[in-house]
């Protein structure tokens, strides 16, 4: 019966409002021109949020993501900035305030890998990964909290003063030989997130992390693009499928919405059970 009701009916309007959990809110997603960041930016638009698409390379690709977001009836800005540079981050937040009126949601997604055996790792490899993956999250989180405090609570929009979602990794817990800089950056994200959550909970600012496992993105294409590599990867994933960017984007919308209003300081692992020590599933 409900399926036959025309658009504009009471049920349809109620369902649309239920789906648009972020209506009237403004979100900044870093590293949003591809992969997990793109999926999160688009899912937040579907949920009703205006979105700033941060990116570093590929103007055409970022603008295409912004165009897709506008197709959901919300505002979108594509803004190029290196999140590891304070001189780039501060103007990005100033532009967001000038054009969208402020910020309600920050998703710290920008990240990269520069892998090497530890004894061969260069300062450039170390500093680049720590700079983007950890310092970038620090700079963006600091500017977001400054903005949240300036703006004040908008109870008709959200129960929280502001929401920060940090994209971490299962490697905030699992050591990763050959990727020491990456694992160290994600371990740092974990305690930074929890410390921010502790410091600002009384102001109704929530800060949480999503920790992906194996997700089908360009950054790890070598781990899933062939049948042989995919089958090897599945030995680490009890759920026996690779994760998709939408698995992460749906969790991000939940953490940014009032549905998770009592959740702060949490690492949410979206990993198909990778943290369940699959090597022991048959008794070790």
pLDDT at position 12 is 47
Dihedral sign (CA 24, 43, 94, 185): positive
* pLDDT level of residue 267 (50, 70, 90 thresholds): very high
Token pair belonging to 119: 């004894």
* pLDDT level of residue 5 (50, 70, 90 thresholds): very low
Instruction: Report domain extents, the chain.
Output: 23-270
CATH number, domain 23-270, options 3.40.50.720, 3.40.50.20, 3.10.560.10, 3.40.190.10: 3.40.50.720
pLDDT at position 225 is 74
Residue 59: its H or E element: helix 59-70
Average pLDDT score over the chain: 93
Residue 220 has pLDDT above 80, yes or no: no
Average pLDDT over residues 89-113: 98
Residues 6+ apart with CB under 8 A from 278: 235, 236, 237, 238
pTM: predicted TM-score of the whole model, two decimal places: 0.92
Catalytic residue among 11, 55, 57, 182: 182
Q: DSSP letter string over 146-158? A: HHHHHH---TTT-
Burial string for 75-94 (b: 16+ CB within 10 Å, else e) reads: bbbbbebbbbeeebbeebbe
Contact 130, 114 (CB under 8 A): no
Between these two residues, 135 and 20, which has the higher pLDDT value? 135
Catalytic residue flag (residue 277): no
Residue 102 has pLDDT above 80, yes or no: yes
């Amino acid at each position: 019966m409900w399926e036959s009701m025309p658009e504009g009916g009471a049920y349809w309007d109620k369902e649309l409002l239920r789906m648009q959990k972020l209506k009237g809110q403004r979100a900044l997603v870093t590293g949003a021109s591809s992969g997990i960041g793109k999926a999160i930016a688009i899912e937040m638009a579907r949920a009703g949020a205006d979105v700033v698409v941060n990116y570093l390379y590929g103007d055409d690709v970022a603008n295409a993501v912004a165009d897709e977001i506008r197709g959901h009836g919300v505002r979108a800005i594509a803004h190029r900035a290196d999140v590891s540079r304070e001189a780039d981050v501060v103007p990005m937040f100033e532009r967001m305030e000038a054009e969208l009126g402020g910020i309600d949601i920050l998703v710290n997604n920008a990240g990269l890998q520069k892998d090497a055996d530890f004894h061969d790792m260069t300062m450039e490899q170390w500093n680049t990964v720590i700079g983007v993956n950890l310092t970038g999250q620090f700079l963006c989180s600091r500017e977001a909290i400054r903005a949240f405090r300036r703006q004040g609570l908008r109870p008709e929009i959200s129960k929280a003063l502001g929401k920060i979602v940090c994209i971490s990794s299962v490697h905030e817990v699992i050591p990763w030989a050959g990727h020491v800089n990456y694992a160290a950056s994600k371990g740092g994200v974990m305690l930074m997130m929890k410390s921010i959550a502790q410091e600002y909970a009384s102001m109704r600012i929530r800060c949480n992390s999503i920790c992906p496992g194996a997700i089908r993105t360009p950054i790890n294409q070598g781990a899933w693009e062939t049948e042989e590599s995919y089958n090897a990867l599945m030995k680490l994933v009890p759920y026996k499928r690779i994760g998709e960017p939408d698995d992460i984007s749906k969790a991000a919308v939940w953490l940014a919405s009032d549905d998770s209003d009592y959740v702060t300081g949490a690492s949410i692992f979206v990993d198909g059970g990778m943290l369940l020590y699959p090597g022991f599933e048959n008794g070790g």
